[in-house]
Amino acid sequence: MRTQIRNHKEMKVTIKCIISCIFLHNLQADLKDLWNDLYEEYVPY
């Protein structure tokens, strides 16, 4: 992500985005191959 941090608010937004990306990465790493099984079982109405 390329961004200029000009003030405290932009710094907080950037940090929240980075933390969210780390969380999603770790979630996918923990699910491993189970992600495909969960996706195939989902039936939208």
Give the pLDDT confidence of 5-44 residue by residue, as tens digits.
899 999 999 999 999 999 999 988 888 777 677 767 666 6
Measured distance CA(18)–CA(30) in Å, rounded: 18
pTM over 0.95? The answer is no
Instruction: Give domain status of residue 2, yes or no.
Output: no
Measured distance CA(1)–CA(4) in Å, rounded: 10
Residue type, 42: Y
Measured distance CA(34)–CA(27) in Å, rounded: 11
Looking at the structure of the chain, the number of domains it has is 1
Residue that is written with structure tokens 């999603």 in the block: 24
Instruction: Give domain status of residue 24, yes or no.
Output: yes
Measured distance CA(16)–CA(18) in Å, rounded: 5
Instruction: Give domain status of residue 3, yes or no.
Output: no
Is the model's pLDDT at 45 over the cut of 70?
A: no
Query: Which residues constitute the domain of residue 25?
Result: 8-41
Q: In sequence order, which residues have a C-beta less than 8 Å from that of residue 3 and are 6 or more positions away?
A: 10, 14
